[in-house]
A and B are shown apart, each in its own frame.
Chain A
Amino acid sequence: MQTFSTRPFEPPVDPGVLRAQVRAFLAEHQPAGDAASRANSWAVADRTFTRALGKAGFIGMIWPKDYGGGGRHPLERYIVLEELLAAGAPVGMHWIADRQGGPLLLRYGTEAQRRDLLPRMAAGELYTCIGMSEPGSGSDLASVRTRGEREGDHWRISGQKVWTTNAHHAHYMIALVRTGERSQRQEGLTQFLIDLKSPGVAVRPIIDLVGGHDFNEVFLENVLVPDAMRVGEEGAGWRQVTAELSLERSGPERYLSSYALLLEFIRVCGDRPAPAAAELIGRLTAELWTLRHMSRSTAAKLAAGEDPALEAAIVKDLGNSFEQALPRMIQAISDVDLASDSAFARALALLLQIAPSFSLRGGTREILRGIIARGLGLR
């Protein structure tokens, strides 16, 4: 049986200096807004902010300088993310490129792909989205049916992706495609970067339950993709995607989505909170602190070259439960003014609506529990 052994978080620089730099950047560039606009901020896309962040060297921080990156240590990046997310900065536009697109190319991409795309990603000018889920393939990702047929030095790709966050902003979709002849399940899947301006691509909005537009359906009809835009070997898609998902699951975004509400709650409670409020604040802070340690430990393991897939699943599951319960617990003890238009009321209303999605995106709670159980040797 495995246990959650922790690893110290030891960045090679003085975190205080780096934090001060990020805070100075935010003071200058973060758009004005209230707690509601700062909630779940890694889903909020803002091109101007992203460009400024790129210019300041806070995107692609850990990529080699040769490719426009910062050549920094992964734990430095982690510190920067903590600062950005705790401040509720709108990092949604470049989030996928920074977290998945870039690292994917560094691991599996061709030299030409890296030279072409990474510098623009790091500059905050080129965005990607993730095309994994399909109407028939959500939890059972290995069943994807979007098909690619080789035609000389191109691939002809047809199928449909769904829940594709930011496809309407992104330049490229990182798509998981079935390419094997008579391939079953995990075999025969390949990843491509599909230029969303290609003929045959149609992006249609899906309106979410808040009434907002973040995710989309992406229809692919005989889209011709150059073989040069294949990422990694033909048939290696599944292995690549699983590695990518564990990167995706380990960051501080997995427990900070409701953090803006906690801060606002503390602010409205003032210096002398009622006993029930004080108790709740203490309890939430204790949980937050624990999660932070677990998350940082997982980041330290990743940085040391370990593969903490299990730990990442544990932190995401715990973190999602925390960020999901937080708005509910705050609502339960607050005398919410129903008609109020205060920042607190709006942040609370927004989070109460979107919290259910925290345990769906990036792998559902049930799927994560399956992974954790497998880590215990239960199959």
Chain B
Amino acid sequence: MGEAVGTAELRESFREVLDDIVAAGCVRRHVDEGASRCAPLWTKAAELGWFALLTPESHGGLGLPRAAAAALYEELGRAAAPLPIAAALAATEIVSAFGSQAQQAQWLSRLAGGDAAAFSASGPALDDASLRLANAALFGETGDLLDGVEAALLLAPVRDGENLRWALIDAADLSMQRIALVDRTRSLARARLDGAPASVFSADAHAIARKLRIHMSIALACDSIGGAREVLAFTIAYLKTREQFGKPIGSFQALKHRCAEHLVAIEAASALLGEAVSRWERDDIEAELYALLIKAQACDVYAAVAEDAVQLHGGIGFTWEHMCHVYLKRAKLNQVLFGASAAYHDAAARLLAA
């Protein structure tokens, strides 16, 4: 499936920047130190306007099609990059689509300039919304905020009496507690709100949740395809050079057939992803169904490839020093972020039956 010329060029530019970041050891150091922010990457991304990809031109953004974001997510996955940008771009979409003028004026240029956003990654369980609104101030706790401590903006469903609404909260007005994850390229956070001022959306809460879910499903699917391709590539490179029994282990059929199977699985998922992105782009009626399916499919393929990569590498794949585990842990986390595969299959089945 060919991509539009503009997107292909953009992808190339994302890749060049990320290759430099990886070559400079930034990802490696980030993982080794368990740091929370990868400053060189973030600064570069903000400078290059990555956070402004989807921001309308009227608000100083690039106003690019969503395919540009998809290409970025895939390249970030390829590099296993610690950059909390997907939630920022998703928030940008929400504020652009549903925000009042005041909300747009307050947030769009900040987000475009490189401020991160966060919302709960435990799936859009709107019914469990735990924050209460009273006199335009919020009270309560909310958890599973992906890369929450990095965020300037929190997006959360809140209860306003009987009503369920989404709200924007300035992270400066609340306290965040970081929860480290096995996957060190990301983290979670819990937020406590003790009267933080909230700016509430008037739009239907379910419509917002749906948009966020589609965005994050596609983002994680892209991340997974990019990661799976990279893992397969460096595994194949290793199989060509590692020798046992006097020949490269890649010449053993048991191993090369598995690589071929992984490629088939990645290409199949990638084709479905292309379809999902183009439906998302067009706001197609089935965009949500495709997004849900590809989230489950791509994350499962990534996890399977990353697990087998350890086996294909032998002992070296089981070390901290090798990159296998960085991808394996990212793949495993992708599988459970915003709900596990089974939940996605159920949701997709419900859409099909509807």
Question: Which A residues form the contact surface with B (CB < 8 A)?
Answer: 133, 136-140, 143, 162-163, 206-209, 211, 215, 276, 331-339, 349, 352-353, 355-357, 359-360, 364-366, 369
Q: Name the distance in Å between B314's Cβ and chain A's nearest Cβ.
A: 5
CB-based contact A332/B325 at 8 Å: no
CB-based contact B320/A211 at 8 Å: yes
Q: Which single residue of chain B is at the shortest CB-CB distance from A365?
A: B311
Q: Name the distance in Å between B248's Cβ and chain A's nearest Cβ.
A: 12
A353 touching B325 in the complex, CB below 8 Å, given contacts A331-B340, A333-B342? yes
CB-based contact B324/A338 at 8 Å: no
Q: Name the distance in Å between B170's Cβ and chain A's nearest Cβ.
A: 23
B321 adjacent to chain A (CB < 8 Å) = yes
CB-based contact B320/A332 at 8 Å: no
Interface residue from B182, B315, B340 paired with A332 (Cβ < 8 Å): B340
Q: Is the interface of A mostly helix, strand, loop or mixed?
A: mixed
Q: Which single residue of chain A is at the shortest CB-CB distance from B337?
A: A338
B213 adjacent to chain A (CB < 8 Å) = no
Given contacts A334-B340, A338-B181, 9 further A-B contacts (CB under 8 A): A133-B315, A137-B244, A143-B244, A208-B318, A209-B328, A211-B320, A331-B336, A339-B188, A356-B317
B252 adjacent to chain A (CB < 8 Å) = yes
B110 adjacent to chain A (CB < 8 Å) = no
Residues of B within 8 A of A143 (CB): 244-245
Q: Name the distance in Å between A344's Cβ and chain B's nearest Cβ.
A: 14
Question: In the bound complex, what is the Cα–Cα distance between A139 and B343 (angstroms)?
Answer: 40
Interface residue from A139, A215, A332, A349 paired with B314 (Cβ < 8 Å): A139
Q: Name the distance in Å between A212's Cβ and chain B's nearest Cβ.
A: 9
**Can you name 22 A-B residue pairings with CB atoms under 8 Å?**
A137-B244, A138-B314, A140-B246, A143-B244, A206-B319, A208-B318, A209-B319, A209-B322, A209-B325, A215-B315, A332-B341, A333-B342, A335-B343, A336-B336, A337-B122, A338-B144, A338-B188, A353-B182, A353-B325, A357-B318, A365-B311, A366-B252
CB-based contact B315/A353 at 8 Å: no
**180-194 of chain B: CB within 8 A of chain A:** 181-182, 188, 190
Residues of B within 8 A of A139 (CB): 244-245, 249, 314
Question: In the bound complex, what is the Cα–Cα distance between A207 and B325 (angstroms)?
Answer: 12
Q: Name the distance in Å between B62's Cβ and chain A's nearest Cβ.
A: 32
CB-based contact A356/B340 at 8 Å: no
B310 adjacent to chain A (CB < 8 Å) = yes
Q: Which single residue of chain A is at the shortest CB-CB distance from B252?
A: A366
Q: Which single residue of chain B is at the shortest CB-CB distance from A324?
A: B307
Question: Which B residues form the contact surface with A (CB < 8 A)?
Answer: 121-122, 143-144, 179, 181-182, 188, 190, 243-246, 249, 252, 254-255, 307, 310-311, 314-315, 317-322, 324-325, 328-329, 332, 335-337, 340-343
CB-based contact B336/A338 at 8 Å: yes
Q: Name the distance in Å between B324's Cβ and chain A's nearest Cβ.
A: 7
Question: In the bound complex, what is the Cα–Cα distance between A173 and B109 (angstroms)?
Answer: 64
A207 touching B188 in the complex, CB below 8 Å, given contacts A140-B245, A353-B329? no
Residues of A within 8 A of B182 (CB): 349, 353
Residues of A within 8 A of B336 (CB): 331, 336, 338
By Cβ-Cβ distance, the 6 closest A-B pairs, closest first, are: A209-B325, A356-B310, A207-B320, A140-B244, A163-B315, A140-B245
Residues of A within 8 A of B179 (CB): 339
CB-based contact B307/A356 at 8 Å: yes
Question: In the bound complex, what is the Cα–Cα distance between A148 and B114 (angstroms)?
Answer: 62
Residues of A within 8 A of B337 (CB): 338
CB-based contact B311/A138 at 8 Å: no
Residues of A within 8 A of B321 (CB): 206-207
Residues of A within 8 A of B314 (CB): 138-139, 360, 364
A208 touching B319 in the complex, CB below 8 Å, given contacts A140-B244, A335-B340, A366-B255? yes
Residues of A within 8 A of B307 (CB): 355-356
